[in-house]
Structure 1
């Protein structure tokens, strides 16, 4: 399963984003974002398979709907938290007299450090994922 290495790659990208400077090339930021996006794809597909694999077949549709809902709500809540930390820390830096660009950079530094801290818990949790037991073909009801 690629979940553990992909989780570590995402954590490394968050660390990279936390250390951005005004001279960081735009293409390097873009490459890091693409690497992070590919890593998320390597995480979510097996994670959803593991989550749905423990359900009995009659509950697959409910489990899929629940996973989709939780993913959307958690993504929105995480983005809101991330932007809140960014805005608050940008305001603190601006009040301390930092120029606008430096203040925004300080805000992004703290926001990505916070995201990295939360993601560290995800990396630790990824070590505990296990493939669900294979279903007994005799226990699966026939289709209609």
Structure 2
């Protein structure tokens, strides 16, 4: 393995992506934390149920790339807040179906609206073409994973 003296590790794509993700998500994280006392994983579970409707924890894990223990803790906290309900599957008692309650749907709707506004502000200063190109490239990078 040879060392490339021209390679600047500060330009290492995973590092830059992490820096951008942290900077972009911190302010929004404060919104769901301050308004609803939610942690990141709880927001992610709520987000998936809001988009896709009834799901199992396994479904969420596959879509969100989250570990099952993190999902389990988030589901427990959201259920305690009465944002979601758990229903055992009649055919397989090991499976629980998760649904947002009316209160959970209201929280999701509020945070979705806030996320839309935050997203708009985040790409302010970029042309629509550049913002769309950035989204397309990030989707492509994420799809290459694994």
TM-score by length of 1: 0.30
When you count helix as a share of all residues, which structure comes out higher?
1
Using CA pairs below 8 Å that are at least 6 residues apart, which structure has the higher relative contact order?
Answer: 1
When you count strand as a share of all residues, which structure comes out higher?
2
TM-score by length of 2: 0.29
